[in-house]
Chain A
Amino acid sequence: MVSEGSGRMSKYLVNKFLYSIDRDPALVERYRADPRGTVTWWEAERANVILNLPEMERSTWQAFTEAEREALATHDYVKLFELGAHHFLTLTLYIALFERDYAEPLGFQREYARQLQRWSLPYPDITT
């Protein structure tokens, strides 16, 4: 048996969430408006759907850890960085979510960098 959200494989699932939301305009808006509801729905309905397979051929074991679920549900990109989510996936989706709230060009991107200032090398491992 594999325990829920064990070890590294849920890092894959966090990336899969970021990737799946980012490529769908409706899901981007849904995740912006209702992050916790979107994460709950996605984990229940979509987490086990394998990207290139029919839905009936789904996995049976995908689940977030509590920390991952909470970070996604609170739009906590600093925590996602710490947990080793892929930095490019997090950045791209979060630009889509929040760039619109900043008047200056690259305003959100610079705020994002400021929020991560306490990190220095080596950064958290992104290996899945």
Chain B
Amino acid sequence: MADLVAVLATTHHPFFYRASTAPPESRPDFADEWVRKVEAYRETLTRARPDVLVMVGSDHFHQLFYDNMPQFLIGKAPYYDGNYYNEEREFGLPRMRLKGHEELSAYLLRAGLDAGFDFAFSNELRVDHSITCPIITTRPRADLPIVPIYTNIFAPPLPRPWRFVQLGRTLRQLVEAWPSAERVAIIGTGHLSLELGGPRQFGPHGPDPEFDRKAVEWIANGDIEAALREVTLDSLWTPGNATHGFMDFMLMMGVAGPIKADYADSLDLFHTMEAYFTWYPKGAAA
């Protein structure tokens, strides 16, 4: 059976690429610390020596729209082009091409259906910054095949938080039952408190530092039950109108299980808090 060698849950900040590659004269003052934290986090993935990356993210109305909106979707394609004109325009993100892992995609689709998750699928998916940002931060060589999994955290009606946790638990079971000798890492990105297109956007820090403090504690301690007790689709509006992206963190808590993260770090940036977590299901040395 395949080895699940690392589980990573992090924020995806589209400004990191530009901040970290800017020439010295236009480099923002927070860039150095940010780069240090990201490089330390990258090492937590490198150390696990994965062969394939299952990437959980959420399309930001790029390919998926209200005319045909899936709740959970798995890509099954030999390649995924990445990033869009409007991400190039707003964030300076580069065009990318990532290799797919069709065998693992096909397995997860079939086994997922049999386990009660009626995934939508796509044979031609262009991934956006929810997938490419964690590649840029945790695997900038972009040399490993991926399986992208998209969740709907944007277009109501959304699945409820418990469903994201359940999907995470199921993904872990499926990956661990995959008849393969490959080493799999599951990397998911979401948000802590975040406001976009509302009155609390782009403040000096995230819109709800108290939520962020609690959320970081839930994730770092693997306290899924506390998160499920406090977080509902309605409650997520309170920390910020884009905070439903926190459900991707809850999905990753489902993958990791109710245990403390082996690595936890965060960084208070303007308008949102960055957070970095890694678990080693087989132990750090495996």
User: What is the interface of chain A, defined by CB distance below 8 A to chain B?
Assistant: 12, 15-16, 19, 22-23, 25, 50-52, 81, 86-92, 95-96, 106, 109-110, 112-113, 116-123, 126-128
Contacts and interface: CB of A to CB of B under 8 A. Distances in A.
Contacts, number: 84
Contacts of A95: 90
Interface in B81-118: 84-86, 89-90
Contacts of A127: 156-157
B242 A12 contact: no
How would you classify the secondary structure of chain B's contact residues: helix, strand, loop or mixed? loop
Contact of A51 (B65, B157, B237): B65
Interface string B195-215: 011111111000000000000
Given A23-B84, A87-B241, A96-B86, A119 B198 contact: yes
B259 interface: no
Interface residue range, chain B: 20 to 34
A116 B198 contact: yes
Given A88-B242, A96-B89, A123-B237, A52 B196 contact: no
A12 B66 CA distance: 7
Contact of B67 (A50, A92, A126): A50
Contacts of A16: 65-67
B85 A23 contact: yes
A22 B88 CA distance: 12
Contact of B85 (A12, A25, A109, A110): A25
